[in-house]
Structure 1
Amino acid sequence: MPALRTLLAIPLAAALFWTFPGSSTTLAAPATDATLPLLVTQGKAPAAALLAREGTKTRFVRTGPTIRRADHFRAGSITKSFIATVVLQLAAEHRLRLSDTVDDHLPGRLRDHAISLHSLLTHTSGLPDFTARTRGTTPVSPTTAVRLAESDPPKARGHWSYSNTNYVLLGMVIGQVTGHSYATEARRRIIEPLHLTGTSFPGTRTKLPRPHGRAYDASGGDVTTLNPRVAGAAGELISTLTDLNRFYTALLKGRLLPPTQLRTMLNTRSAQGHYGMGLYPTKLPCGTTVWGHNGRIEGSYVRTATTRTASTVITFRTNTDTLTKAPQLERRLLTAEFCPRLTPTPPPSPSDA
């Protein structure tokens, strides 16, 4: 096992890096850069990194020596944003309707024949989450994932209840409608047009592309090698900080979906304000609402957030999936980035006085 205590003991002041301020494409460092280390000191992550983009300017900051800007990592449920985009593209092409039932495309797959694609996209289908059975660590086929989900009592349909099973089924629907795997369709429709050179659907490949760092579970064990079938269409994506910022920028700017489908994606009424379709909103203390998704898979936690106009977008990540104070720390970091006036300015150093 790697010397995790050694990583955590490295002084943060020596481990914090950002792009050089002399570059014309570099943003000035905001309070976010002072907040990111809390993911290590309070969240107990070995290392963390963030890439922000505003217009043509970018800023990269990391804490801990084991994460680099170009690293590939597992993006977990951020996969859902890609899957939802493909489904909405197919709807725009009239190859399916969101009101279609799963049974229309996958006859006999579910015992409940009335579950719609719309309810899968918004997590209002009532289908239980298959990872409650697998704990996200056991590789399973899509068919097995659905069978495991149906072995548990269903939730109330029409009420928001996050379930990875929904997006496993959407991956199967994409395959049935197009004749190609969801990975092939996402690559053709999103990854290649946007030149996301660090993004891939690994299928059953257990290794990360190079370059990459290490990934650790909650006890410090190395879980860099992992079978992506633990998540499938609900969370198998591999990506980079740069690629995720580029994807969400293109999505919110309307480069991937027509206006009607983008409005549908951002409509949260069906999910009682919790979720759109592959995206969810977060309202911050300053009144700003950011859109994006998080991704948690063994050994990795990722979060992308952007303004509605995609004028500013950030992605941050840690190389472990368990952060004891993740919700509070994540909100604090987003507030520091998108609500700078609410973030106290640190006192000047003696040299600045």
Structure 2
Amino acid sequence: MPTRTTHPRLTSALAVVCCTVTAWVTTACGGVVARSPVLQDLVSERTVPGAAELSQDAHGTVRFATAGVADVRTGRRIGLTDRFRAGSITKTVVATVTLQLVAEHRLNLDDPVAEHLPAPNATALTGAERGRTVTVRQLLTHTSGLFSYTDDDAFFRRFFGQGFTEHRYESHTPDALLGTALAHAPYGPPGTRYRYSNTDYLLLGMVIRQVTGHSYAVEATRRIIVPLRLTGTSFPGTRATLPLPHGRAYSAATGDAPGAKGLTDVTDLNPSAAGAAGEMVSTLPDLNRFFAALLSGTLLPPAELRAMRDTSLSGGSYGMGVFPVRLPCRRTVWGHNGEITGSYVQTLGTADGRHVVSFRTNSDTRLSSLAQTKLLATEFCSTDG
């Protein structure tokens, strides 16, 4: 859930983490975790307090590295199974559930969205469409043209900016968030151009509930989290605290009095402002497991997986809940990033899901595209898997 609706950053299969040890790192089985030079650069530049990376290559080798600290007060390091807010990676999960419903013939990608909303929201959306129908496909690909509720200035200040301290524990309903979005004119007619909008996935969460009778969180838990044994992944709803174990989360964007490195502790917050666009909590091992399963075809039939990777409607920028990243070595990897107050994470993998990497920082300070490219090139361009 980017704080503003920009392109997911970086301009431009199921193995459990186990006792695979390389010279670079000692994994979860114990010992001291080694530092990654790329992550260390981020911390040394005082960009973030702490960073971590977990990868599994095509040969099954698992590597875990950290730099800096999870808690600037105690000096605690980031742990392999630390929980953190995964932001817009929630969208990949919501897209997967939606495409599973398509495969089950309970939805069609070209269905008008209003057909799958409760009456008040359907009426409000129809009025906002102004004669042009938004489809499920357009929500998935961010081509609906609908205004993103996070672009509303008042909302942005309350949740991401100077009003954070006063409003950090407020609850937000999907209906209210949709109302904020629909109070603004669309960015453009549906289907005419790509524009990342958190409203799109807010609506997909509503569609899932209407079609299944259950929330997107319940459906994602039943269809993805339980079968894949993602024991560190959850949808907190209105719960402000993170499950244990966890470090701290820091931000330079809020109005609190700054602490170490000019950052404020923002670990506790009510994530209902993100909802289906970005509320999920997860761990690095869970994200790697999920994306390995998704990209390898474990979670979706071939037709739906092809649709997920089809970027033609967005001009090559975005598929359905995933986007491609083209590396300097001319390899393309697939995944998503997540940004929410106090946290940034990105997971990417090869098209077959055999080589995946997740990296995270415990701050929402934006990493440069150069730093991210360096990290990913080191991971994917220096190996044969």
TM-score strictly above 0.5: yes
User: Which aligned pairs between 1:240-255 and structure 2 lie closer than 5 A?
Assistant: 240-255=283-298
How far apart are 1:64 and its partner, in Å? 1.2
Question: Does 328-337 or 35-44 show the bigger shift?
Answer: 35-44
Matches within 5 A, 1:1-353: 25-29=20-24, 33-42=36-45, 44-54=47-57, 55-66=59-70, 67-106=78-117, 107-110=122-125, 111=127, 112=129, 114-133=133-152, 134-135=155-156, 136-137=159-160, 139-156=171-188, 157=190, 158-218=192-252, 219-323=262-366, 325-340=367-382
TM-score of the superposed pair, with normalisation by structure 1 = 0.86
Q: Structure 2 CA distance, aligned partners of 1:99 and 1:27?
A: 48
Contact 1:24 1:57 in 2 (8 A): no
Cα deviation, residue 56, structure 1: 2.6
AA matched with 1:52: S
What TM-score do you get using the length of structure 2 for normalisation? 0.79
Give the length in aligned residue pairs: 318
1: CA distance, partners of 2:62 / 2:319: 28
Quote how far apart the aligned CAs of 1:221 are: 1.0
Structure 1 position 70, deviation (Å): 1.1
CA shift, 1:326, in A, is: 2.8
Secondary structure of the residue aligned to 1:302 is strand
Is the contact made by 1:215 and 1:320 (CA closer than 8 Å) also made in structure 2?
Answer: yes
- Cα distance 1:287–1:27, how it changes in 2: closer, same or farther (>3 A)? farther
Amino acid at match of 2:134: I
Equivalent position of 1:346 in the other structure: none
In structure 2, distance between residues paired with 1:24 and 1:217:
34
Question: How far apart are 1:26 and its partner, in Å?
Answer: 2.5
Is contact 1:126-1:161 (8 Å) kept? yes
| Counterpart code for 1:214 | R
- Note the C-alpha offset of 1:43: 6.0
Structure 1 runs, 4 residues or longer, greater than 6 Å off: none
Secondary structure class of the residue paired with 1:59: strand
Q: In 1, are the aligned partners of 2:36 and 2:67 still within 8 Å (CA)?
A: no
Correspondence for 1:348:
none
Q: Where in structure 2 are there 5+ consecutive unaligned residues?
A: 1-17, 26-34, 71-77, 161-166, 253-261
Return closer, same or farther for 1:339/1:175 CA change in 2, 3 Å cut-off: same
Contact (CA 8 Å) 2:249, 2:266: kept in 1 or not?
yes
The alignment's C-alpha RMSD in Å is 1.8
Cα-to-partner distance string for 1:191-221 (whole Å, 9 max, x where unaligned): 0000000000111111100000000111411
Corresponding residue SS for 1:208: coil
Q: Which runs of 5+ in 1 are unaligned?
A: 1-22, 342-353
* 1:67-105 deviations in Å (ceiling 9; x for gaps): 111100000000000000000000000001010111111
Determine helix, strand or coil for the equivalent of 2:251.
Answer: coil
Deviations, residues 211-263 of structure 1 (Å, cap 9, x unaligned): 00000111411111010112000000000000000000000010100000000
Partners of 1:183 and 1:201 within 8 A in 2: yes
Cα pair distance change 1:26/1:169, threshold 3 Å: same
User: How far is the alpha carbon of 1:41 from its aligned partner?
Assistant: 2.6
Task: Supply the distance in 2 between the matched residues of 1:309 and 1:43 (Cα, whole angstroms).
Answer: 36
